[in-house]
Amino acid sequence: MDDRSRFEEFARLATEQRNPRTFDIDGLDVPSILQRISSEDRTVPEAVARELPHVARAVELVIASFREGGRLVYVGAGTSGRLGVLDAAECPPTFGSDPAQVLGIIAGGHEALVRAVEGAEDREAEGEKAMLDMAVGPKDTVIGLAASRRTPFVVAALRVARRLGARTAYVTCTPRAEFTLEVDVAICPEVGPEVLMGSTRMKAGTAQKLVLNMITTAAFIRSGKAYENMMVDLMATSEKLRERSRRTVMTVTGVDQERAAQAIEEAGRSVKTAIVMLRLECSRAEAEARLRRADGFVRAALAPPPGPAS
C-alpha cells in the first residue's frame, strides 16, 4: 500500500474522526474538560450492550476451547494488546485457572507493555510467527484486538490462526458494515469519535476492556468457577485471597471463621471441596468425587442424586 492509499484508509476509519462535541475542549477549564470526557464515557456501556449477541457467540467459542483442553489467546497491539495481556494475567488469581489457559500476545513483546515499541503493530511477519510459535491449533480460540480493525500484526495473526484451524473472533470499534475480515465472530461496539481524535485508549479502550471482562468471566462461570455469585476456585496466594476464601466458605455454609479455615485445610486448600464437605457433612474423598461427576460445578455437586425413573 502506497502512502496516499494509506492516508486515505486512515482518513476513513471511524476511530480517526473528529468529535464535533469536543471541538472547543482546548479552551475549557479543568471541570469542563472532565465533564466532556465523562459525557462521552457514558455512551460506552450502551455501545457494548448492543453487541451482546456477538459477545455471547465469542463466549461459546471460548467455552468449547476450554472443554477441549484448548486455550484463549488474545492478540493485539498498543492499548488493545495491553488490555489483552491484563485480562489474561488476571484470570489465574481470580478463577484459579492454569496460567497457560488464557494468554495475551502484544506486538513488540513484553517491552511494549510499559513502553511503546514504534512500528511493532505493522509487522505482519511477527504476527504470523507468534501464532506458529504458540502452536495454535483447532482446540484454541484466538481473539484479535484492534480498535481500528486494520492493525497488520493482528490481522496477520488471525489469518494464520484460521489456517491452523483455531476458532477466531475480533474485537474492534469500527462499524460492523465496514468489517470484512474472515473470523467466526466480530464484536463491534461503535463508540464514535474520541474526545481527542484518534486517542483510542479512551472510549475504544474502555469498550474493549468491558468486552474482555465479559468474555472471560462468563466463560469461567460456565466452566464451574463460581457458585452463586462467588468465586470458588481461588488461589490463596495472598492474605486478601485467603480471607476471601474463608469468607466464601462461611457465607455458603454458615460456619464460623475458625471452622472455615480448618475445612479449607482439610480440603487440600480447595474452597469448592470445603463447601461440599461442610454442606453435605461428607469426607474430602466423597466431596471430590461429587465435584468430578458434576464437572466441577458446586451447585450440581450439592444437588441430591436423581431418583429412580418411574
Q: Report phi then psi at 69, rounded to 5.
A: 80, 15
- Which among 16, 60, 90, 266 is annotated as catalytic? 90
- State the pLDDT at residue 76: 95
pLDDT in tens, 9-49: 555 666 778 899 999 999 999 999 999 999 999 999 999 99
Residue appearing with cell numbers 486448600: 269
Residues in the chain: 310
- State the pLDDT at residue 1: 54
Residue appearing with cell numbers 475480515: 181
Q: Report the run of H or E that residue 39 belongs to, with start and end.
A: helix 30-41
Which residue ranges of the chain lie beneath pLDDT 50? Answer: 7, 310
Q: C-alpha grid cell for residue 252?
A: 455458603
Q: Is 40 a catalytic residue?
A: no
Cα 101 versus chain centre, distance: 12
Give all domains of the chain, ordered by start, each with its CATH number. Answer: 9-221 (3.40.50.10490), 226-302 (1.10.8.1080)
Q: Are 170 and 186 in contact (CB under 8 A)?
A: yes
Q: C-alpha grid cell for residue 289?
A: 468425587
Q: Give the whole-angstrom CA distance, residue 76 versus residue 152.
A: 10
Q: Which DSSP category does 77 fall into?
A: -
Q: Are 73 and 42 in contact (CB under 8 A)?
A: no
- Cα dist from 242 to 142, 236, 246, 274, whole Å: 33, 5, 6, 13
- State the pLDDT at residue 310: 47
Q: Give the whole-angstrom CA distance, residue 83 versus residue 88.
A: 9
- State the pLDDT at residue 249: 95
- Which among 8, 9, 40, 121 is annotated as catalytic? 121
Q: Is 288 a catalytic residue?
A: no
3-state secondary structure of 282: coil
Q: Give the whole-angstrom CA distance, residue 244 versus residue 238.
A: 10
- State the pLDDT at residue 5: 54
CA contacts within 13 A on the Cβ side of 102: 25
Q: Which DSSP category does 304 fall into?
A: P
